[in-house]
Amino acid sequence: MMADEAGTSYRQATAALAGRVLLAVQDSDGVNLADFLGSCRDVTAAMGAVRLVGADIFVPQSLLNRPVDTRDVEIVESSFSVFPPTSQPSTPEQRVMAWRDWATGRLLARLTERDPSTPGLSTAPGTVATVLGDPGDWQRWSIALAQLSSLAQPDVCTPVIQAVEEGGRSLSRGATRAVLRRDHPTAARLARWVALLAGRGTRLDLDPGLLIEHIRLHAGTEPSLLLDLAVARQLLDREPS
């Protein structure tokens, strides 16, 4: 398979899986990863999609208290065998992936009530500042934060949530910048963080509901984006814990 074909295959698989999670959030069906894998011609790409969607696979459990499907847990755990996590992240991209993997590991641990079987998922990959950077550099900081949108779930990664609360203005600016640049995927990812903070009672510089609605009305139908918006809406409507 050529590299661009593989890229297309991974993108399609990721979009398809995000669409499944979105349906699971909207309806009461499960994600059913086994069925997802069976529907994909390229199983490797499908496992890659499982790794990329990561912690968001468990949004129905994390946000809506749906029961855990142990087969989904097993498949997510096996995706770490196919694509092992980076043990020593050194580039910005690796650091982002390491934090996303850690979030997946945290959710697995919570849902299964046991430590993750995959090495490297049980400890935080460095400090939050190493992945997000300086909140004063709000453009870069918010872009990095958007890449960590799968962490924007209740009580998954407390250190990151604390850092985001301290950078509320940078978050608001980054979300506004993304909307004005019509970078709707980034805007939707940041809207999750905006909604998470608002749901926790943090005062923000912008109206989270208006932000989510603006993106919904302008951003099209890409499944990952719609999933981010659905999560954002759920986070916003959540009772403060």
Partner 1 sequence: MTSPLTHTAHDMTAGAMRWLRANRELGAFPADISGDVGNPDSVYKPLGELALAASLVLREGVAGAAQLDAARELMDFSWGQMRKGDLLYERQLRHPLMTDPLELYGHYVRGGRRHRALEELLEFNASVGSLEEVMPNRRLAVANAHRVVGLDRADDWEALTRATWLGMTPPPWAINWMTAYAVTHTVFHLTDWGASPRDVPADLADYLRTWLPVWIDIWSEVLQWDLVIELLIVGVCLPMAHCVPAEWERVAKAQHADGLMPRDGEPIVGDRLQRFRAHQHTTVVAAVGGTLALSRLLNEST
CB-wise, 80 or 138, nearer to partner 1?
A: 138
- Give the x-and-dash track for 195-224 against partner 1 (CB under 8 A): ----------xxx--xx--x----------
Say how far apart CA 191 and CA 172 lie, in whole Å: 9
The one among 66, 71, 110, 177 contacting partner 1 by CB under 8 A: 177
| 35 touches partner 1 (CB under 8 A) | no
Beta carbon of residue 136, minimum distance to partner 1 (angstroms, whole number): 10
CB-CB contact of 135 with 166 (8 Å): yes
Q: In angstroms, what is the C-alpha Rg of the chain?
A: 17
Report the nearest approach of partner 1 to the CB of residue 182 (Å). Answer: 10
Total site size for partner 1, rule CB under 8 A:
16
Is residue 176 a contact point for partner 1 (CB under 8 A)?
A: yes
Q: What is the 3-state secondary structure (H, E, C) of 78-118?
A: HHHHHCCCCCCCCCHHHHHHHHHHHHHHHHHHHHHCCCCCC
Residue 71 makes contact with partner 1 by CB under 8 A: no
DSSP per-residue codes, 55-73: GGGGHHHHHH-PPP-HHHH
Residue 184 CB, shortest distance to partner 1, in Å, is 11
User: Residue 186 is encoded by which pair of tokens?
Assistant: 């980034």
180 binds partner 1, rule: CB under 8 A: yes
Crossing angle for the helix pair 184-199 and 158-166, to the nearest 10 degrees: 100
Q: Which residue stretch of 78-86, 147-155, 173-181, 222-230 sits at the interface with partner 1 (rule: CB under 8 A)?
A: 173-181
Span from 37-45, 46-54, 154-162, 179-187 in contact with partner 1 (CB under 8 A): 179-187
Q: Does 147 bind partner 1 (CB under 8 A)?
A: no
Residue 214 to residue 236: CA distance in whole angstroms: 15
> Which distant-in-sequence residues (6+ apart) come within 8 Å of 131 by Cβ?
92, 95, 96, 98, 99, 125, 144, 148
Q: Which is nearer to partner 1, 22 or 211 (CB)?
A: 211
Is the four-CA dihedral 27, 196, 192, 154 of positive or negative sign? negative
- Residue from 169, 185, 223, 238 binding partner 1 (CB under 8 A): 169
Mask: binding to partner 1, 7-26, rule CB under 8 A, as x and -?
--------------------
Helices 158-166 & 168-180 angle (0-180, nearest 10): 80
Q: Which chain residues interact with partner 1 by CB under 8 A?
A: 138-139, 169, 172-173, 176-177, 179-181, 205-207, 210-211, 214
